[in-house]
Each structure stands twice: as C-alpha cells, then as structure tokens.
Structure 1
Amino acid sequence: MNQANLFDEPKLDEPAGKQDVAPEVDAESGAAAAAAMAEAVAGAEAEAADEIAPFGGGDGGGDGGDGGDGGDDGDDGDGGDGGETLVLSTFAERAYLDYAISVVKGRALPDVCDGQKPVQRRILYSMNELGLGHTAKPRKSATVVGDVLGKLHPHGDQSVYDALVRMAQDFSLRYPLIDGQGNFGSRDGDGAAAMRYTEARLTPISRLLLDEIDLGTVDFQPNYDGSYEEPSLLPARLPMVLLNGASGIAVGLATEIPSHNLTEVAQAAVAMIRNPKISHDELMALVPGPDFPGGGQIITPAAQIRDMYANGRGSMKVRARWKIEELARGQWQAVVTELPPGTSSQKVLEEIEELTNPKVKMGKKALSADQLALKQLILGSLDTIRDESGRAAPVRLVFEPKSKNQDQTEFMLMLLAHTSLESSASINLVMIGSDGRPRQKGIGDIIGEWIGFRFETVTRRSQFKLKKVEDRIHILEGRETILLNIDEVIHIIRNSDEPKAALMERFNLSAIQAEDILEIRLRQLARLEAIKIQQELADLRKEKQTLMDLLENPSSMKRLIIKEIEADAKTYGDARRTLIEEAQKAVAEQKVVDEPVTVIVSEKGWIRARTGIGHDKTQFTFKVGDALHDAFECRTVDTLLGFGDNGKVYSVPVAALPNARGDGVPITTLLDLSGGVRIKHYFAGPASTQLLLSSSAGFGFIAKAGDMVSRLKGGKAFITLDEGDLPLPPSVVGQDASAVAALSEKGRLLVFGLSEMKTLTNGGRGVTLMELDAKETLLSAAAISQKGVIVHGTMAAKPRELEMSGNVLAPHFGKRARKGKELVQRIKASTLAPK
C-alpha cells in the first residue's frame, strides 16, 4: 500500500487570526484527492490492530519494549521473540500513514455532523462541564485551557487557546460560540491577550450543540489515557458545519468552508426533510451562497456559485461595500464599511502605501515601468486615506479623491482592482462524513448527512426519555400500591426480619419498587401525596404514549424535527450580511483609446504592436536570425496571452506593448518567466473570445480569454500538465463552430460534436479529446464549422495543406475520446486549422 505520495506537510494548529487558503486546483483533482484520502483512511483503520515494531526492537521506550532489553531511550532492544522486522521504507510508509490519519481525523477537518474539529469540540464540552453557560460568570481562559489539556487534548496549550480565541471572534465566526471578556484580537491582525488575562463563557447559540449532551444522544469514548470520557460528537440541532464554516490544512487534504446564514440553512434543512429528492437548484434558491461575518458583496455569477456548491469546490470574487458621503462645497469621500473575508483595514493601508511608495525589485536597479505607471495612477487619483474604525463602526475606511470632479465609480474600481478590497474566497467543502471518512461534498450531501444524524440523535433522545419515564412510572406504581394498603405495609415493615422480600411477595413488587418504599418518608404517606402520585402517573403515561408514537411513527418524528429547527431558526436567526449581486471583476486601467492594432510576435519572443490592421506580413522586419512567429489583428483594449510550457497563462495588455518602430522588447521583460519557463503559443483578442485549450496528453477544455487574464507577471496556473506534457496552440471557438477536430501523432483524425466539450472558467485538465496509444501524443486540436478542416503538414519534404469537408471528412466523425481514423492521403500532418 503506497500512500506516502498523497500527503503534503500538514498545518496542525489553527491560528486565531486569518486562515491559510487552500491552493486552488481543478475540481476533479480536488475530489480525487479527497476520495483517495478517504480510501487511505479506511485501509489504515482496517489495519489498526497490527502494531508496528520497528527494526525488531520491540516497542522500545524506557522498559525496552516487549521484546528488547530496554534502556533509557529504548534503543537497546535486540529483536525479542515477538518483534516484527520491517524494511525501513515500509515502516516509514506505514508510520507516516498513521500520522496522516491522526491529523486528518483528529486535528484538521471538521465533522459534518456537528461542524467541529476535535479541539473545538473538546473546548465546548469542557466549558459546559465547568458550568460556563451563557448566564454564568466568565472564568479565566487559562482555567478552560488547563481543563481541556489535562482531561481531553494532550497537545500544546497555545494551540488550544488559539482555537478558543477564534471561536470568540465575531469577525472570524458568523455565529461565535464563546463569549470572550477582554482582548481577543482584532480584524487587523492584532493578537489576543495572554490566557491569564482573558475570560470566557459560552454564548447562547452554543446551546444548539450542548443542550442535549446529557440525554443519551451521542456516544462517549475514553480520553487519551482512559481516565475520562468525552463525546465523540456533539448533538448539533442545526448544520453547524455550514453556519460557521472551517479552514484547515491536513495531510494531502485541505478544507475551506465559508460561513452561511442560519435562517437560510434552516430553511434548506426543512425543505430537504419534507422532500428528500429536492433538486440542487431548489436548495440553492434557499441558500444562495456564503454569508461572511464581515459582510461584503459576492460578485460571482449565480450559475457559477451553483456549480461550486454542486462540486464542493471553487473560488468566488468578493468585494468591499462602500457608500459615498457628500461634503461641503461639492466635495465627496468614499467610505468602506464592509470588507471581504481575510481583508483588514490595516492590510488595505499597507497596500496603498506599497503602491504609492514602491520598492525596487530584487535584482533591478530602478522601478519598473508598471510600478511607475501605477504609482502615478494612485497619486493622481487618491488624496487621503484614513482608518476611522472604532466601536461605533467596526469598519470605516475613508478615501478622499484628488478632485471632486472625478468619476466616483471609476475611482472605486481603481481601488478595488489594485487592493484586496476585491479578493477571491475559496470554497473547498472537505470534511469528515457520517461514515467517518474525509470527503469533498456538495451542499445537498452535507445537509442530507446532517439530517440523518439529527434523526438519529432525536431518536436516541426519545428512547432515553422513554426509559426515564418508564422507570418513573414503575416507581410511582409501586407507591400507588402501598398507599392503598398503608396499614398492612407498615405492619410488615415493623414485624418482618426481611421487609423487602416480604413486600415483594405480598404486593408483587419489583426489587426497585420495594427498595423505594423502604426509603420513603412518612410525610409522603399523606392523602395529598396520593393525589399527586395519581396526577403525575397520568401525566407520565400520556408522555409515554407521545414518545412511543414518536418512535413508531416516522411522520411524527419528521414533524417534531421540523418544528424544532424552525423554533431554533426563529430564536437565533438573523438577516443576511453578505450581498450577492453579480458584477464584473474590477479591472482599473488608464484610459486607452480603442483602436485597431496588430500584435507581432517573433520566433525568439520579441513582442511589438503596430497601429492598424491588414498589414503585409512579409514586410515585417526582425533581428538577424529571427523570424515571424505569429501576428494577431486585435484592438488596443485587448490582452495578449502567452501559454507557457508549465501550464500557466501569462497576460499583457496590448496597450502596454511597445510600438513597431523598433524590434520590440523580449517577452521576458514583460513577464516573470522564472525557472526556465518558455512561452509555446500566443493569442491576442477580446476577453469574450472562447478558446479551445488542449495538451499533448490528449485532454482539452473551453475557456474565455478573459478567464485567463491575471494582474500577476508570474502568470495564472490554468492548464494542468503532467511531466513531459506540453500545451497545444489555442483554437478560437467561432460562433459558427459546431465540432472539434483532434489529430494524433500517428496521423489519426477524430471529429466530434462541440457540445461534448466542457467549459472550465478556472482552468484544469479538461476532458479526454482522443484516445491515444502508449507514448503517443496529440498534435493539434481545433474548433471547426461545417465548412470543414485544413490539415497542415508535409509531403515529400514539402509543405502541404489538405482540405477536408463533406464526404471526405465524414468517416472521421465519432464520439469524443475515441481513436479516430487514419488520414487517407500520405501527408505527414502537424497542425489543424478551421476551413
């Protein structure tokens, strides 16, 4: 079992402030990693009974293990009779897998049932046991941390305190579970005071997790040394994993679950209970997206958000919210009142400072043209920035423009584009499922698994209450019997050597009833007490019937759970904070005259732009030994894309390219091509242009040119490539395109419908275009229309073009991922182009 390659370096403890964001990969690979990890968990647990004795040295330790001779450090064991000799690589692999399982299940991932990581669950349970409810007097955080460490969580005290602090931060959790007294940090990154200074107690909403803990709703398990018992889960009355979300990095897995609105999640849970076959779109109508603690505005289209919640992975754009305040004499100022997750006022101030006072980059002698242009843009637009945040306004960031005549919308778009006032929020819904395995889940699976858990806890709660009621009825029936025969009972007790046995025999009582009667007080024998017993019995028998009906009738159970969810939503629900309203991503650019231009790229990577279109390409001049690679007729407002051999896409605004009076500039001066990256192909055109992107491994997908644009010179990871794979030339998907043509290294051509392709806005590997033989590669792929395709190649060492359409092309039509058919003419094909 080779699982070592699944894992990366873990992050065990979750900090109190901003969380690390999981690196973005395509949804398919993310789900595959989660599935692989789940299988690893299952396999490792199945083998948990097999102890590993490294190198035959017994179990080691101070006593030398079971088979060794001992020693202070356990290094002297000689193999013993019961030892198991293992190859070092085998032991390391198994030991690392054990470690990985411990991190995944015991540290980093929340559980779908109660939404808590183990350390959070232990903190809440410990505080509940200490009597620190929302009405109690707060106690020192050090007391809570010490109790958690000593009884339940034998790890670092700072990691426990960090988790406690985060659970008390209203800017980290949508619904804080701990009420902190003292300095618990700030959204600007200020740390909390030491645990000896701060105090804590539970918040009212924590009752959703703890109120039913003593009603037999969940299993308890021994703690780390068997001296204490702790709950394996908390009986959550709402899907807490969605309400507060989670963030963490395990081994080979990461999770990034955003927070959501309680009222909306409760409505979705009720809707799914009533209709287990509810569609994904119906669920998303109730829960349209995250509801972040700091508010903000989600500008990602609703359709993309729906896809993210179906797959359990994605990335959305969130921007700050602001208002314009009118001042005297026509002046105005923009005031930011809500920030995206992970952004603080201090961070924005630092970004503005970096833009207005840029530093020379390492290895450079002066500021770059981009740095100077951006500095000029900011200084020419922004006059003053002030942070007026305080108790009255948690976020109040004031921006004053240079001139009152500036366009307010353009002013804010500039700030959004160049600071974290607009940023990305990742979604990676990985958690421990109800089966105990880590999985990436869609929102329907999450709510469905919680509903199953809730039905189980309510069933166990009802069974627990029924047992209590039956026990009480049994006691009261015994008392009722003796009150009807009180004189005889007293006579038996006074005159019998074994009154318990005598009472049991005379009145047909159980041992429990007889013991209760013997311990009853004389004042409880009054007539008034008999009336109370009869009334209590009547009430208990009615309650018993209700509980039995609840356990026997699924519809009654369903109605009760819905009623409880709606009651909790009414008690703890609130209005949505985050606005979901689609908008275009902010791209602030200096005013560019929209005019036609020709972008010229040489074989050696020299780039320039020439005004106008329709130029004679044979008249383009280059340096000695260089030649034309490609030329694109586009407009100055478009973007030049470069496709690197590492799968990244690099972008440069066409307006930023030098004019064609000289030879241009090397592409390396415009982009950061570190690590020996080479640009294999180029494209220049409108952001709305759809491109067919493919790789030599035979995979491909469709994306818009605008999806690949990045402000970073280091490019944007977009095409997933394995070692040895290369990107193929992009093909424009025209409005008349209806099919895709794929050409293999061995001269096989396959044509299939364009509808079989997949669109990936965030990039990825794509779908299989063509089945390839071992070590065979894909040469070219192009989107074509009904006019057909042109095959470029050579014949007898001379360039040839083969035009194919109609009946000539028909034999090559088939389904995607098939092998296709060899070309009839003996042409050594190299590339395809639409006819």
Structure 2
Amino acid sequence: MSSEAPHPDDDVDAARITTARIEDEMEQSYIDYAMSVIAGRALPDVRDGLKPVHRRILYAMHEAGVTPRSSHRKSSSIVGETMGDFHPHGDSAIYDTLARMAQDFSMRYPLVDGQGNFGSVDGDPPAAMRYTESRMAPIAQELLQDIEKDTVDFSSNYDDRLQEPDVLPAAFPNLLVNGSSGIAVGMSTNIPPHNLGEVVDATIELIDDPDCAIEDLMEHVKGPDFPTGANIVGRNAIHKAYKTGRGRLRVRAEFEVEEDERIVVTELPFQANKARMIERIADDVNEGKIEGIRDLRDESDRDGIRVVVELKRGANAEVVKNQLLESHLETTFGVINLALVDGKPRVLDLKETLEHYVDHRRDVVRRRSQYDLDEAEDRAHILEGRLKALDNVDDVVETIRDSESRDDAKTALMETFDFTEPQVEHIVAMQLGSLTSMEAEAIEDEYEEVQATIERLNEILDEEAELLGVIKDELREVKDEYADERRTRIVEDYGSVTHEDLIPEEECVVVHTEDDYIKRMSMSTFRAQNRGGKGIIGTELKEGDRVSSVFVANSHDYLLAFTNHGQVYQLKTYEIPEMSRTARGKSAVNVLELDDGEEIEAVVDSDGMDEEEFFTMVTRDGYVKRTALSEFSNILSTGIRAIRLEEGDALADVEVTDGEMDVVIATAQGMSIRFDEDEVRPMGRTARGVRGINLESDDRVAGVAAVDETDHQWLLTVTQNGYGKRTDIGDYRVQSRNGKGLIDIKTNERNGPSVAVEAVSSGDHLVVMSESGQIMRTRVDDVSTVGRNTMGVIVMDLDAGDHVASVDVIPAAVVTADADADDEPETVEADGGAADDPAAGDSEADAGEADDEAEDATDEGAA
C-alpha cells in the first residue's frame, strides 16, 4: 500500500496560516474600525474644525480653481472630483456634506456659495447634484490661505496618486465659528456655532494673556450664536459648557404675543424643522392636548420665518404660550465639545479649544515665514549676482562672447567672477534690454525690498511676540472682513416651563364616585341657582355607581386627600383629569394609589397653611384626634397613615384648626356636640384618638366643623333628602367632649339622616351633589337661619330615590373672584311646599323649643 507524498506548496501555505482566538480577532478588528471612524470620518480636527470629507471637498475645489472669483461649477462635477481624487466613499454622502456647507440655516458662516435649491428649514432635501451649482465661499478661502507655502503636512491620497492636506491652515477658529456634529463609535460631538467677531476677540485675549481664565474669555464669547437666531435661556448652562466641554442649552424660539389674539413666531431653535413643528402643533390641537388655538398659518417667505398661531376668543394667551414652549417652541442643544487633538479624541473646554488653535496658527505662521524667507533669500542671491554682473558688464559680456557654448560660458563666469550656479543661470539668460541703467535701478530697488522682507521674516521667526503679532493682525483682518452682529440672544432663565405653567389657575369642582371614578371641572361651569333647584348634571355614572364626595379647590393648590381607611395622599388639583360635566371621569387609581374599598372622605387645601396648625380628624364611631401639620411634611405617592382605625371604623371628616378653635361634631341622627379643641391633646399620626361624642348604638358621625367665635359664623347642616338649615353658632354651647351633645336638626322621614355639617359665613356659596350625579351651586345666604332642633328648608330638589352624597363650601373670597358669581341666578322652579317658606321653618323651630330645652337638660346630664 503506497501513500502520495506531500506537495512542496502545501508546506508553504501551511506556514502562512496562524491560529487566533476569534474573541481576540473580533476585538482587534472592531478597535481598528472604531479608530478609523473616530479619526478618519466622524470627528473634526481641533485645528481647522473640519472632518475629512469637508476638508477634501474644499481642497478639491481649491485644486480645481472653483474659487469665489470663478464661475459656479455643477455640484456633480465637484462631487466627482472629490470622490475620484480624495474621498473614496458614496457620492450621496459627499453631496449631502457639500449641500450643508451651502445652507445658511445650518452653517453660521457657509463655506460654499450655492446656486439652486439646497434644501430648506422645512426639511426639504436639496435638488439633485446635477441641478445645483457651487463654488467656494469667500470665507472658505481663509481656511486654505497659504496652503501652497508648506504651512501644513500632506499625505498620500487613498491610491497614492496625489497628496492631500492633513489639516488646513485655517486663518480663523472654524471649530467654534461653524461648530460641528457627528457620531463616532462610542462617542459623539456636538459643538454649537459662534459669532466670528466674538471668537476672534477671545483668541486675541488668550494670545495677550495666556494665563487668563475662562470667565475672561466669556467676556468676549457671550455664548453660541446660531444661524437661525432664537434665544438661549440662562447663562449657567453656557458657563458649564465652556468650563467642562459639556452642557445642555435651552434654545427658545423668538415669538411675540400680539394683543392676546395671536402668537407670531419669527425665529426657530437651531436645527428645528418648521414644517414638522407646525404639523405637530396641529396634531396636539386636534387631540385636545393644546386648547385655545383656532387657526395655524405659515406665512414665511424669503425675508424670514413667520408662523402665526391664532387664538380663540377668551383663550388664555399665557397658558397657550407655555403649552407651545413645553412641546414645540423650546428645544435642548446638548453641547459636547469633542475634537481630535493629535489624532486622539478629547473633550475640551473653551480655553483649551482656543489654545490648540493658537498653537496651530503659530506653527502655520512659522512654517509660512520660513518658506517665504527661503524664497526671499533665494531671490536675494539671484539679485546679488545680477547686480555684480551689471557692475562688471563689459567683462561679463566679453567672457560670454569668447565661450564656445552656454555651458562653457557658465563655467568661465563661475571661475572668473566667483558666481554660483543659480546666479550664472540667470545671468546667461539675461536679455540685452536689462543692461540699461533704468533696469539696473529697478534691480537695486527690488534687492532692497527683498532684504527688508528677509529682515522682517527673521524677526518673526526669532521673536515669539512678533509671530503672535502676525497672528493677531491676520485675525483682525478676517474679523473686519466677515464678522457680523449676533443673531442669538441670551435671555434670563426664570425656570423651565413646568406642567403647572400649562394649567390655567382657576377654581375647580372635583367629583369622586364610589366605584373610584374621579374628575375635575371648572367651577365657572356651575352658576349659582336659587335654593330648592334641581341643579344640573355634574357627572355621568355607570350603572350601580354613586357619587361619594365633591369638593372645591384651586387648580394649582396642593390637596391632602384623606380616605376612609385613615390614609392621606398629596396631589395637585390639576393632576386630577379635567373632563366635561357629562363625562364619567377616570379611575382614581390613575391619580391616587387607593386600595380596594378605599374612598376619599375629606379633602383639605394645604396651600397657605401654617405648620403650627392641626388636622382635626373624626371617625364614624365618634373618635377625634389632632395632629400637627408638620407630621405630614413628607407624604409618599402611596400615601401615609393619618389615623389608626379600629376594625369596622372609618374616617368621617377632617378640619384644619389653629389651636384656639372649637370643634363641632354632627351625627347622622341629627345630634351635635361643641367643645374646645384643647380638650384633644396633639397626637402622632398612628394614634387612634379619643372619644369625641358618645353615640347611640345605631348612630354614626356625619361630619365635623371648626368654628371661630371671632367671626360671625353659622353652622349649616344638610340632610340626605336635600333639606338644610343655618343656625347661629352661638346656639351651640360649649360642652366637654364625649357627651351626647344637643339636637342639631330633626332627622325625620322628610329630611332623612344628616349627611354634612359646615361652618359658613355670609357670602359663601354651597355646592351640593347627589348620588345620581346632579350638582347644584347656591348661595348660603338663601338658606334660612333657624334655631336648633328644626326641620329646615329644601336646599336641593332631588328626584325620587336620589339622595345628597356630599357638600362643600366655596368661601366668599373665592366667590368674589369668580366672574360667573356676579351673573344673575338662574330661575329654577322651587318645590313650593311649606318647608320652603322661612316663616314655616321658623314656626317649626318655635314648636320644637320646649322639646329642645328638655333635651338640653338630658344632654348636660349625659355630658
């Protein structure tokens, strides 16, 4: 059995194979790719502020002679030459870059002078490159100035046919002036544009005082200067960006509110898409996210931007403005001052950025001066030979005539007159006309000029101060030629637009149902009616649901919502969804994290409260507790414990007291007790409290009121069937707590049990809501003033089977501020029964006085 011998080439192939771990190979390959993107594509060089593609486009135009003094060239031609000679990537990428350099809304100082459609602020793309024409903008030539004088290093292009510059000489700090943006691998840059004049002044300041602080430079550079103008809100973010190289700037559109009828936008934030912005505003208006806008027009033309937002009649212009600012007219510009320094990415502060530019210009001016010096010295050497030849013109001519050839003449001249080879090259090429005395004088003048130039160039190269002086002079020339006024204004920061700024400040009515639906409505929706009316629909209920509570608060107030489980939650009124009268509302779990069966029993407006005040809480079983407001300073989203409840007990009501008030507890069966709040010592949040009223076995607490004898107040009681009365607070004498109390109102079949008790003053309004969702607002003064132990008068006319669910009071001060409160009351037909007649109520009160006196004696004994 024979085997085939291995071929010699197999050994050679095997020797070229190396073993590598795939993890290591992938890591190294990815690093190579990342560095290629970082250094060769996505990040600008700190010296000229350009990425390779920008630099190659400008250099290709320079080489092709497409300068500001030439005619425009087809953009496709420029793209083709750039791609063929320097940038081996797709033509669309090159053209997109070329187009952006021509857009006056993208570049603060465009580097390309475009002719044709190069796009718009509406996001329209440029026309195809075959339709547009371009040439270098005048300021772009300043970036390429003296590039032919060995001012920068060159490298071979991608196919080693040509040489391309590694960086441009850059006669101004283009990185700051035009900014840059790009995404590399694992890093990105976003440098805003600046005003040329300000940046030049700061650069000169740095040259004059290398030890200056960033704050000194900011005396010149006020902040970014965007091509689209607009406003930068606040200076702190600018200062942070200049100090650290990173920051977040709030850029706000320029607009004006005209006569509260329209908002006119004239300048947009940098990089904002106008058409998209208008479309999004329209979508928000249609979806109800922004209210008060009736029309939206784009009246922009070549003279500038003009977007008109027409407001509805009566719309709150300030609220609409804030809504537009929150979502559309204000953007954030994230500053990341990342650039390549010696081929490595670095985040730079303002001073470091300018220092690297000054170092670059120092090198450029030094190399250019050395180049010019070499040229001048070569010229001086030639002129010296010509002057020497003129001094010996006869002998020189004779030597040349005696020579058999040009080479013999050169050799003879060098041997006879000690000329150098470059000198004899020019001498033998001189024409006879240059031997005239006038030509000789011109050569002498030129020689003196060249000597002066050499002296000046040596001075620049030998003395640092002179070299820096040249840099400053050239910067001033660029400033004088191209600088203009700032476009972007810097305005004071009065705080970000918050969600609260978008909500009109108004009094609201909030409704909560047993099935945990909640909503708010503007109080102006409900006009005051005469007592005894049916009211209007206040909410739509699903089958089996009933209203459990209603309360009034300002839309911007902080509310503390106490539940029947003894928990307390904090929220802003505007966090409750605003809906129409006929809407059902939204589930309360979207607003408060309530447990199953947990209902809001009392809502307290915490705005304007004093930390020395107290929450006085009463339970259904008659327990009362006072806790200092300071105990509720840190309320969690899940609520905190306000009172400890025994099994079967529930929180009934809460009042705010100041330590010097009396507390009145009313029960469902019409009893009431008044005592000094000092009888209840302050307790912690987890305490149960002490007995406030001694209840009958089938009775429960209906509500609590806090009264102040310094004010003329009444105790207003409302029953389940819609009846109520006002009684002077003086009719309720002060007792000790834990008594049975006095009769407050008759809870017979007509009235039904008591459901609410409130301390009221003249001018207050009453909001009564039924279980079926009817709501009525009436004047407290329309409710008859009668004694205790009376039946009262009808307050709200309820349908059969309906009952009063909840009552709240609108203070007189709020009523006065409410414009609708001044309107005439709606004419609503009253019940017409004897109970509606105040006199009838009074007679009933008189009839009950004897019983009242007898019961008072019993009350005192019970107490």
Pairwise same-fold verdict (TM > 0.5): yes
Tell me how far apart the structure 1 counterparts of residues 413 and 497 of structure 2 sit (CA, whole Å).
86
CA contact (8 A) 1:609 1:654 kept: no
1:345 is matched with which residue?
Answer: 274
1:238 is matched with which residue?
Answer: 172
SS at match of 1:574: coil
CA contact (8 A) 2:385 2:423 kept: yes
Tell me the number of residue pairs that the alignment of Structure 1 and Structure 2 aligns: 548
Q: 1:614 to 1:383 in 2, by over 3 A?
A: closer
Q: 1:387 to 1:523 in 2, by over 3 A?
A: same
1:578 corresponds to 2:488 = yes
CA contact (8 A) 2:237 2:248 kept: no
Tell me how far apart the structure 2 counterparts of residues 596 and 429 of structure 1 sit (CA, whole Å).
52
- Which letter does structure 1 place at the counterpart of 2:293? L
Identity %: 39
Runs (5+) with no aligned partner, structure 1: 1-67, 70-75, 359-371, 600-607, 623-627, 638-652, 671-683, 687-730, 733-835
1:319 corresponds to 2:279 = no
Give CA-to-partner distance per residue, 1:765-785, whole Å, 9 cap, x none.
xxxxxxxxxxxxxxxxxxxxx
1:621 corresponds to 2:621 = no
TM-score when scaled to structure 2? Answer: 0.59
Tell me how far apart the structure 2 counterparts of residues 460 and 417 of structure 1 sit (CA, whole Å).
53
- Which letter does structure 1 place at the counterpart of 2:565? T
Task: Give the C-alpha shift of residue 655 in structure 1.
Answer: 7.3
Runs (5+) with no aligned partner, structure 2: 1-7, 513-548, 595-604, 608-632, 635-863
1:516 corresponds to 2:426 = yes
1:543 corresponds to 2:453 = yes
Task: Give the C-alpha shift of residue 664 in structure 1.
Answer: 2.9
2:348 is matched with which residue?
Answer: 441
- Which letter does structure 1 place at the counterpart of 2:174? M
Tell me how far apart the structure 2 counterparts of residues 184 and 636 of structure 1 sit (CA, whole Å).
50
Tell me how far apart the structure 2 counterparts of residues 479 and 666 of structure 1 sit (CA, whole Å).
98
CA contact (8 A) 2:387 2:440 kept: yes
Tell me how far apart the structure 2 counterparts of residues 515 and 232 of structure 1 sit (CA, whole Å).
36
1:275 corresponds to 2:209 = yes
Q: 1:551 to 1:411 in 2, by over 3 A?
A: same
- Which letter does structure 2 place at the counterpart of 1:475? I
1:207 corresponds to 2:116 = no
Tell me how far apart the structure 1 counterparts of residues 550 and 443 of structure 2 sit (CA, whole Å).
97
Q: 1:297 to 1:86 in 2, by over 3 A?
A: same
- Which letter does structure 2 place at the counterpart of 1:429? N
Out of 380, 383, 388, the position equivalent to 1:481 is 388
CA contact (8 A) 1:596 1:636 kept: no
1:589 is matched with which residue?
Answer: 502
SS at match of 1:400: strand
Tell me how far apart the structure 2 counterparts of residues 453 and 595 of structure 1 sit (CA, whole Å).
66
CA contact (8 A) 1:593 1:636 kept: no
Q: 1:77 to 1:255 in 2, by over 3 A?
A: farther
- Which letter does structure 2 place at the counterpart of 1:392? D
- Which letter does structure 2 place at the counterpart of 1:285? E
1:411 corresponds to 2:355 = no
- Which letter does structure 1 place at the counterpart of 2:355? G
SS at match of 1:468: helix
Task: Give the C-alpha shift of residue 132 in structure 1.
Answer: 1.0
- Which letter does structure 1 place at the counterpart of 2:588? G
SS at match of 1:132: coil
SS at match of 2:331: strand
2:676 is matched with which residue?
Answer: none
SS at match of 1:248: strand
- Which letter does structure 2 place at the counterpart of 1:529? E
Q: 1:174 to 1:609 in 2, by over 3 A?
A: farther
- Which letter does structure 1 place at the counterpart of 2:296? I
- Which letter does structure 2 place at the counterpart of 1:482? A
Give CA-to-partner distance per residue, 1:580-615, whole Å, 9 cap, x none.
012332344222458999x9xxxxxxxx99989997
Tell me how far apart the structure 1 counterparts of residues 210 and 508 of structure 2 sit (CA, whole Å).
56
Between 1:103-112 and 1:493-502, the stretch displaced more is 493-502
SS at match of 1:341: coil
Matches within 5 A, 1:227-626: 227-299=161-233, 301-324=234-257, 332-358=261-287, 372=288, 374=289, 377-378=290-291, 381-393=292-304, 395-403=305-313, 406-419=315-328, 421-433=329-341, 435-497=342-404, 498-583=408-493, 584-587=495-498, 588-593=501-506, 620-621=564-565
Give CA-to-partner distance per residue, 1:705-735, whole Å, 9 cap, x none.
xxxxxxxxxxxxxxxxxxxxxxxxxx98xxx
Which structure has the larger Rg over C-alpha atoms?
2
Matches within 5 A, 1:754-769: none
Q: 1:591 to 1:182 in 2, by over 3 A?
A: same
1:225 corresponds to 2:159 = yes
Between 1:84-93 and 1:312-321, the stretch displaced more is 84-93
SS at match of 2:161: coil
Task: Give the C-alpha shift of residue 401 in structure 1.
Answer: 1.3
Give CA-to-partner distance per residue, 1:100-124, whole Å, 9 cap, x none.
1110111100010000000000000
Tell me how far apart the structure 1 counterparts of residues 336 and 182 of structure 2 sit (CA, whole Å).
10
SS at match of 1:214: helix
SS at match of 2:294: strand
Query: Which runs of structure 1 show a deviation greater than 6 angstroms over 4 or more consecutive aligned residues?
Result: 594-597, 608-617, 654-658, 667-670
SS at match of 2:387: helix
CA contact (8 A) 1:635 1:685 kept: no
Task: Give the C-alpha shift of residue 396 in structure 1.
Answer: 1.2
CA contact (8 A) 1:621 1:663 kept: no
Tell me how far apart the structure 1 counterparts of residues 587 and 273 of structure 2 sit (CA, whole Å).
45
Q: 1:594 to 1:109 in 2, by over 3 A?
A: farther
CA contact (8 A) 2:76 2:129 kept: yes
Tell me how far apart the structure 1 counterparts of residues 350 and 441 of structure 2 sit (CA, whole Å).
54
Give CA-to-partner distance per residue, 1:188-240, whole Å, 9 cap, x none.
11111111111100111112201221121101110011100001000011110
Give CA-to-partner distance per residue, 1:482-512, whole Å, 9 cap, x none.
1111111111112124111111111111111
CA contact (8 A) 2:143 2:171 kept: yes
SS at match of 2:295: strand
Give CA-to-partner distance per residue, 1:56-91, whole Å, 9 cap, x none.
xxxxxxxxxxxx98xxxxxx9985534433222211
Tell me how far apart the structure 2 counterparts of residues 505 and 347 of structure 1 sit (CA, whole Å).
83
SS at match of 1:286: coil
- Which letter does structure 2 place at the counterpart of 1:428? I
Out of 46, 49, 66, the position equivalent to 1:132 is 66
CA contact (8 A) 1:184 1:191 kept: yes
CA contact (8 A) 2:106 2:227 kept: yes
Q: 1:534 to 1:120 in 2, by over 3 A?
A: same
Q: 1:667 to 1:228 in 2, by over 3 A?
A: farther
- Which letter does structure 2 place at the counterpart of 1:489? V
CA contact (8 A) 2:119 2:127 kept: yes
Tell me how far apart the structure 1 counterparts of residues 310 and 466 of structure 2 sit (CA, whole Å).
61
- Which letter does structure 2 place at the counterpart of 1:487? D
TM-score when scaled to structure 1? Answer: 0.61
SS at match of 1:242: helix
